[in-house]
Amino acid sequence: MNSNLFMVIAASAIFYGTPLFFAALGELLTERSGVLNLGVEGMMLIGGVTGAWASQHIGGTSWFVVLMSILIGTSAAALVGLLHAFLAITLRVNQTVAGLAITIFAGGLGLSSYFASVWNVAQRPATHPIRFLDVGGLADTPILGPIFFHQNILTYFSWIAVVVASIYLFRTRVGLQLRAVGESPQTADAMGINVVKYRYIHTVIGGALAGVGGVYYSLAIIPTWVDGMTKGAGWIAIALVIFGFWRPDLTLAGAYLFGALQSLSLTLKARNMHINGDLLDALPFIMTIVVLVLLSGGWAKKRLGAPASLGVPYEREER
Partner 1 sequence: MKSPLRLERRLTQPKKLNWLVPLISIAAALALGAIVLLLTGKNPLSAYHRILETAFTSKSSFSGTLVSATPLAFTGLCAALTFRAGIINIGGEGQFFMGAVGATLAGLALSGQPTAIIILSMVVMGALFGGLYAVIAGVLKAKFNTNEIITTLMLNYLAGIFLNYLIFGSTSYWRDPQSMGFPTGKQLQPRAFWPSLHIVGFTVPLGFLLATILGMLLWFLYARTRFGYEVNVIADAPSAARYAGMRTRWKIISVMAIAGAVAGFGGASDVGDFRHVLDAKGLQLAGYGYTGIVVAALARYNPVSAVTVAILMGGLTNAGYALQGPNFPSGLVGTLQGLILFTAVAGEVLTRYRIRTQKSGALSEVAA
Kindly state the DSSP code that residue 312 receives in the 8-state scheme: P
What is the signed CA dihedral for 72, 77, 79, 83, rounded to 10 degrees?
170
What's the start-to-end Cα distance of the chain, in Å? 65
Give me the half-sphere count of Cα atoms (radius 13 Å) on the Cβ side of residue 31. 29
268 binds partner 1 (CB under 8 A): no
Question: Smallest gap, in angstroms, from Cβ of residue 278 to partner 1?
Answer: 4
> d(Cα 72, Cα 80) in Å, to the nearest integer?
13
Q: Is 94 helix (H, G, I), strand (E, B) or coil?
A: coil
77 burial class (0-12, 13-18, 19+ CB within 10 angstroms)?
buried
Is position 100 an interface residue for partner 1 (rule: CB under 8 A)? yes
Residues in 128-187 at the binding interface with partner 1, rule: CB under 8 A: none
Q: Is 104 in the site for partner 1 (CB under 8 A)?
A: yes
Residue 38 as a binder of partner 1 (CB under 8 A): the answer is yes
Q: Which of 190, 273, 292, 308 binds partner 1 (CB under 8 A)?
A: 292
Comparison of 84 and 247: residue with beta carbon closer to partner 1: 84
What letter represents residue 85's amino acid?
A: A
Using the minimum distance from each CB to partner 1, give the nearer residue, 7 or 268. 268
- Compute the least distance from the CB of residue 131 to partner 1, in Å: 29
Is residue 66 within the footprint of partner 1 (CB under 8 A)?
no
**With binding defined as CB under 8 A, does residue 191 bind partner 1?**
no
Backbone φ and ψ for 26, nearest 5 degrees, come out as -60, -45
For residue 152, what are the β-bridge partners?
132
Binding of partner 1 by 125 (CB under 8 A)? no
CA distance 130 to 9: 20
State the number of binding residues for partner 1 (CB under 8 A).
55
Strand, coil or helix: what is 137?
Answer: coil
| Segment near partner 1 (CB under 8 A); pick from 67-75, 89-97, 128-136, 169-177 | 89-97
Minimal distance, residue 203 CB to partner 1, in Å: 15
3 state SS of 152 = strand
Q: Is 111 in the site for partner 1 (CB under 8 A)?
A: yes
Q: Of these, 143, 167, 286, 308, which contacts partner 1 (CB under 8 A)?
A: 286
Instruction: Give the Cα separation of 204 and 30 in Å (integer).
Output: 8
User: For residue 175, which of 56, 28, 11, 298 has the smallest C-alpha distance?
Assistant: 28
Quote the distance between the C-alpha of residue 229 and its chain's center: 14
Provide the minimum distance between the beta carbon of 39 and partner 1 in the complex, in angstroms, as a whole number: 10
For the CB of residue 265, give the shortest distance to partner 1 in the complex, in Å: 11
58 contact partners, CB below 8 Å, separation of at least 6 = 64, 65, 68, 69
Does position 93 interact with partner 1 (CB under 8 A)? The reply is yes
x/- track of binding to partner 1 for residues 205-244 (CB under 8 A): ----------------------x---xx--x--xx--x--
Contact positions vs partner 1 (CB under 8 A):
38, 87, 90-94, 96-98, 100-118, 194, 196-197, 227, 231-232, 235, 238-239, 242, 276-278, 281-282, 285-286, 288-289, 292-293, 296-297, 301, 316-317
